[in-house]
Structure 1
């Protein structure tokens, strides 16, 4: 019987927990641009979905968000609490869950996805992250669509393009090792 990352096992839960921790670490590796800082978190969203699959990838993001909601300073800039989730950048946090799920599901459509398939799946997941992030940024910060895009999408775009390539190459190299162990 073939194992897929979609099966929930103790090892799968451990991997999801590891990605929750990596998200917390990634929040501290940042360029503090207002109102949306550029962090390494998007790389870990990409890797969690692509390596663990949709369910475990999303679960890792939910675990990360729960750590922040209960008061641990795991959000960008060492912030914590429900206020971050309902604030201007909270849509990105919700997007992390949805994006990891979508890109994980798309990645899982192929038994052995190539680099270009991975890049497409990861790009689709990141479109979800940025769509939800920009919507909440527009609503909470009362920004026009163009202003929200100019502060919430354009600054991190070049870095995220590089992260998409890096995540695809990393996944291509180590995905089979994860599949055999979950």
Structure 2
């Protein structure tokens, strides 16, 4: 009985550490923020790490990781694009994208499934998870950008989607390549 509690405690601690690690990686993505002349939305790496959180950790832990990142930003830690923080950023032009990060982790994690040692997710599933995870960022992001800036749909797409498609496609490929191996490593530790 005591050994079971110890193993359970270790797994819980590992899950907390993984969520904190991926939350920290998402926050670290703020240090690469490239302004886009036609948009109030910069090019960032946070979306890659939010997506990887779900693909690697699954929907619950991935969502927890991004939730920690968003909570840190909301209380003022400078983890949002441009190294800023504060709850007001959720109401700004990038607020929908911030919410989309959480959706990306959960949606991507639901599609990819929890990492398992005995049964790896097929590649097609990881690809679908990455593509739909990115869409889960863009949909609320573009909608919020449209309404927060009083733009028409063409302007919202031009400022919140079109400039980012190629870069985000590259990030999706990186996530698709990295996720299977990292999922196995996480599963080994969570199940072992």
Q: Please report the TM-score for the alignment, with normalisation by the length of structure 2.
A: 0.87
Structure 1 CA distance for aligned equivalents of residues 61 and 152 of structure 2? 35
Match of 1:10 in 2: 13
Say whether residues 1:40 and 2:45 are aligned partners: yes
Q: CA deviation at 1:145?
A: 1.1
Say whether residues 1:115 and 2:123 are aligned partners: yes
Match of 1:74 in 2: 79
How does 1:171-182 map onto structure 2 within 5 Å?
A: 171-182=179-190
Q: 2:159 aligns with which of 139, 151, 162?
A: 151
Q: CA deviation at 1:45?
A: 1.2
> Match of 1:53, SS?
helix
From the CA coordinates, give the structure whose radius of gyration is larger.
2
Superimposed CA distance per residue, residues 47-83 of structure 1 (whole angstroms, 9 cap, x where no aligned partner) = 1001100011111111001111111111000111111
Asked if the contact 2:58–2:114 (Cα under 8 Å) also holds between the matched residues in 1, the reply is no
Runs (5+) with no aligned partner, structure 1: 1-7
Q: CA deviation at 1:109?
A: 7.3
Match of 1:19 in 2: 22
> Match of 1:75, SS?
coil
Q: CA deviation at 1:116?
A: 2.8
Q: Please report the TM-score for the alignment, with normalisation by the length of structure 1.
A: 0.91
Q: 1:54 aligns with which of 34, 47, 59?
A: 59
Say whether residues 1:91 and 2:96 are aligned partners: yes
Structure 1 runs of 4+ with >3 Å offset = none
Asked if the contact 1:107–1:121 (Cα under 8 Å) also holds between the matched residues in 2, the reply is yes
Residue correspondences, number: 175
Asked if the contact 1:96–1:129 (Cα under 8 Å) also holds between the matched residues in 2, the reply is yes
Structure 2 CA distance for aligned equivalents of residues 41 and 64 of structure 1? 10
Asked if the contact 1:115–1:169 (Cα under 8 Å) also holds between the matched residues in 2, the reply is no
Question: Relative to 1, partners in 2 of residues 1:78 and 1:109: Cα closer, same or farther, differing over 3 Å?
Answer: closer
Match of 2:5 in 1: none
Structure 1 CA distance for aligned equivalents of residues 132 and 54 of structure 2? 11
